[in-house]
Amino acid sequence: MEPAIRTRNLMKSFGAVVAARDVNVDILPGTISGLIGTNGAGKTTFINMLTGYLRPDSGSITLDGTEIVGLTSREITRLGVARSFQIPQLFNTLSAIESLELALAAQQARGLRGFALVSEDELEARAVELLKEFGLEGFANSLAGTLPEGIRKLLDIAIAMARSPRVLFLDEPTSGVAAEEKFAIMDRVIAAARHTGLTVLFVEHDMEIVRRYSDRVLAFFEGRVLIDDKPDVVLSDTQVRTLIIGEEPAHA
């Protein structure tokens, strides 16, 4: 099967800091992959490159076989890639439902269609669907800027999902959220993803979440892919345990 995302020899450095060193990754369509690594291992940089926010120094990224290096984040989004952010990127003075309506309207904001009236009723109906899918009905009329962090994370993801993407990148979907809410968020998101056969890559620090929700796990260390395998294999790997999870080496 052709991978949904394929990177070859991806390189990126910021001055003396190497954020990506020969990264070769294949992500199969419809799979859910966890991405783990210490702070500064290059996880966010990787997502930023995949979504066109940063341009790699060299190497190739293909989306369903099409080269996307050099495209802007806007163009990549239009090809069916969506992302959420470590710090949710919301419209703080809009309510949740208005934010989703706006996100839905974005699909039309191109060329002459952008000057056509949007159908308020249709936008609202679809926004309500999204709210329900992510369990946000109760916050429909709250301003995004006033929502608690866990809800902000979910809204950020729901906004990303408004374009019905094929590939979704989640940058730390549960960071800054109370432990008991983490699973609730992931349950929602993964259910929605499985429902539509979405390809997902998520960055995560909580190994329990990684184990529970991933089909595959990529471990990054100092800009390199340390290991790329099934969750059990990766999480029991000695290097991963010492370098990333931070356990004392092997006298267990």
Partner 1 sequence: MNAARFFALIAILGVAVACVGYAFPAINFLLAVALSKGLAVLGLVMMMRAGLVSFGQGLFYAIGGYTAGILSHLYKVHEASLLIGAAVLLSTGLALVVSFLIARYRDIFFAMLTLALSMILYGLLVKSAALGGTDGFNVKSITFLGMPIGGTARYSSLLVVLGFALGGIVASYVYSRTAFGRLAEGLKENEIRVEYLGASADLIVRISYVGSAVLAAIGGALAGILVGHVDPEMAFWATSGEFVVIAVLGGSASLITPFAAALVLEFVRSYATQYAPNTWQLVLGVIIFALILFLPAGLAGLHKRRKHAKTTVGA
Partner 2 sequence: MSSLLAVLIDGVMHAAWLFTIAVGLTLIYGVMKILNMAHGSFYAFGAYCCATALGQYFAAGLPPMGAFLAIFMSALIGGILLGLIVERGILRLFGGRDPIVMLLVTYALFLVLEDAIKLIWGVDPYIVGEPLGLLGVVKIGTLVYPGYNFLVVVVAVLVCVVLTSFLQQTAYGKILRAVIHDPEVSSTLGINVTRWSLVAFITGSVLAALGGALTAPTISVVPGMAVEVVVMMFAVVVIGGLGSIPGTIIGALVVGLVRSAAVHFWPEVELFSIYAVMALVLVVKPKGLFAGMELRKI
**Please, what is the minimum distance in Å from the beta carbon of residue 145 to partner 1?**
8
Nearest to partner 1 of 121, 248 (CB atom): 121
User: What CA–CA distances, in Å, run from 122 to 90, 106, 184?
Assistant: 22, 14, 29
**Please, what is the minimum distance in Å from the beta carbon of residue 117 to partner 1?**
5
Q: Using the rule CB under 8 A, which residue among 67, 120, 187, 247 binds partner 1? A: 120
* Span from 109-117, 188-196, 199-207, 241-249 in contact with partner 1 (CB under 8 A): 109-117
* Span from 85-93, 203-211, 214-222, 224-232 in contact with partner 2 (CB under 8 A): 85-93
Token reading at 70: 């050099």
User: Is residue 115 within the footprint of partner 1 (CB under 8 A)?
Assistant: yes
Provide the 3-class DSSP secondary structure of residue 218. strand
> Which of partner 2, partner 1, none does residue 167 bind (CB under 5 to 8 Å by kind)?
none
Pair type for strands 216-221 and 224-229: antiparallel
Q: Using the rule CB under 8 A, which residue among 25, 33, 85, 203 binds partner 2? A: 85
User: What CA–CA distances, in Å, run from 182 to 75, 120, 172, 187?
Assistant: 31, 34, 11, 9
Token reading at 74: 């806007």
The secondary structure of residue 23, as a DSSP letter, is E
Give the DSSP H or E segment for 235: helix 231-235
Q: Are 171 and 112 in contact (CB under 8 A)?
A: no
**Please, what is the minimum distance in Å from the beta carbon of residue 85 to partner 2?**
5
> Which of partner 2, partner 1, none does residue 143 bind (CB under 5 to 8 Å by kind)?
partner 1
Binding site for partner 2 (CB under 8 A): 44, 48, 53, 85-87, 89
